[in-house]
Amino acid sequence: MARASLDYLRQQLEELERAGTALHPRVLELHQAARTRFDGRDVINLASNNYLGLAAHPRLKAAAAEASMEYGAGSGAVRTIAGTMTLHRELERRFAEFKGAEDALMFQSGFTANSGTVAAILSKEDVIVSDQLNHASIIDGARLSRAEIQVFPHKDWAAADRLLDETKDRGRRQLLITDGVFSMDGDIAPLPDLVQIAEKHQAIMMIDDAHASGVLGPGGKGTVAHFGLDPSRVDIQVGTLSKAIGVLGGFIAGPSHLIQWLVNRGRPFLFSTSAPPGVAAACIAALDVIRDEPERIDRLWTNTALFKAGLHDRGFDTGMSETPISPVIAGEETKAVELSHLLWEEGVFTPAIVFPTVARGQARVRTIVTADHTEEDLREALEAFEKVGRKLGLI
């Protein structure tokens, strides 16, 4: 019989169930695609981060398979001992070039790239000035660093400016940090203003481009390129290999001394085994595909415009989105859960996002279109939204 020590978790889970906020992830039974099968149901998939349709692209699959056959299934060690392979270094060179940075470093995930980097470059005397809607991995990194955390209202660069002013002290380092594209709202950080105030205060400027790499700016180079900024004005660019790139991992791009410092002090880099060769090879292939098939990014944005206009014309509230992420705001938690459920019944998969991931009264379903959706997929999804939206009195 199980011991009683963990019984409190059962009670806490029951509370989640009663509140309707317990998570029961749907199971994907085929490959990640615009139309695929979850939990035995064929659906139009508006839930993945597979922006460019690379997760199951033939060139990525072939690269992963070939590298696995040649170099094995695993890397066998952490990067700093015996787990740095030629493929890791090649990928890092390619990402440095992609981002216009001196060098880059691969992490096991975007999450560890953020948390490991913020924790490695600051200490408890320092200050972090962070957008209210920044990703959980930034928040965890900030906590691990033990620096003072000052949060500014979403996108309010004037407030960030004031916080940098108020926390200025001789010898105290300051980090200004923002997501490039905000994952729950799909809006874009006011990077030119943030960069300017970081320069004014001589603060470190760091941007998390998890939802922007491969999506925003010419060639999908991210938020810095989207605004036409010189990459040298942003100290640290974070990217994930898990979203538009279609595989798994994270990376940091920046000056060589930053990268070398992270090799020495980035704890996930030092204490957790590196990515398998198949993963690194597939990421390199993804960069090749992004270069060779620029029409994917064009299709992503054509689809984004079509879908957003369709939601808007039908009277849905899509918040402040400017990217392929479109929230459809339902308000009450139960309404968002109902919206997601009824759409599922109509063959459209789009998850409900509720408190604490978003503020109360801002519950929503979050849609993400990809380059792989056809016009027919999107029109069919919009019809389902219209039918269900009327039923729920949202439009």
* Listed ranges 105-113, 142-150, 151-159, 306-314: which one lies at the site for ligand PLP (CB under 6 A): 105-113
Closest CA to 249 of 258, 237, 240, 236: 240
Residue 165 CB, shortest distance to ligand PLP, in Å, is 27
Of the residues 179, 185, 372, 377, which one makes contact with ligand PLP according to CB under 6 A:
179
* Listed ranges 69-77, 104-112, 170-178, 286-294: which one lies at the site for ligand PLP (CB under 6 A): 104-112
Going by their DSSP bridges, the two strands 250-254 and 352-353 should be labelled as: unpaired
Residue 113 CB, shortest distance to ligand PLP, in Å, is 7
111 binds ligand PLP (CB under 6 A): yes
Judged by beta carbon, residue 122 or residue 382, the one nearer ligand PLP is 122
Of the residues 48, 223, 242, 304, which one makes contact with ligand PLP according to CB under 6 A:
242
Point out the residues that are catalytic: 183, 211, 243
Cβ atoms of 92 and 283 within 8 Å: the answer is no
Where in 357-386 is the site for ligand PLP (CB under 6 A)?
none
Judged by beta carbon, residue 161 or residue 185, the one nearer ligand PLP is 185
Residue 123 CB, shortest distance to ligand PLP, in Å, is 23
Of the residues 178, 240, 304, 362, which one makes contact with ligand PLP according to CB under 6 A:
240
Q: Determine the Cα–Cα distance for residues 329 and 331; give it in Å rounded to an integer.
A: 6
Cβ atoms of 228 and 100 within 8 Å: the answer is no
Closest CA to 70 of 57, 82, 59, 86: 86
135 binds ligand PLP (CB under 6 A): yes
Q: Which long-range contacts (CB under 8 A, 24 or more apart) does 77-81 make?
A: 77/273, 77/274, 78/269, 78/270, 78/271, 78/272, 78/273, 78/274, 79/263, 79/269, 79/270, 79/274, 80/263, 80/269, 80/270
- Nearest-CB residue for ligand PLP: 110
Q: Determine the Cα–Cα distance for residues 96 and 81; give it in Å rounded to an integer.
A: 23
Of the residues 250, 268, 276, 389, which one makes contact with ligand PLP according to CB under 6 A:
250
- Distance set, CA 155 to CA 178, 188, 193, 322 (Å): 9, 9, 10, 14
Torsion, CA 58, CA 64, CA 69, CA 73, rounded to 10: -150
Token output for 130: 């962070």
Where in 285-324 is the site for ligand PLP (CB under 6 A)?
none
115 binds ligand PLP (CB under 6 A): no
Count helices and strands (H / E) in the chain: 14, 13
109 binds ligand PLP (CB under 6 A): yes
Residue 46 CB, shortest distance to ligand PLP, in Å, is 16
Write the binding mask 187 to 226 for ligand PLP: x where contact by CB under 6 A, - elsewhere: ---------------------x-xx---------------
Residues near ligand PLP, by CB under 6 A: 109-111, 114, 135, 137, 179, 183, 208, 210-211, 240, 242, 250
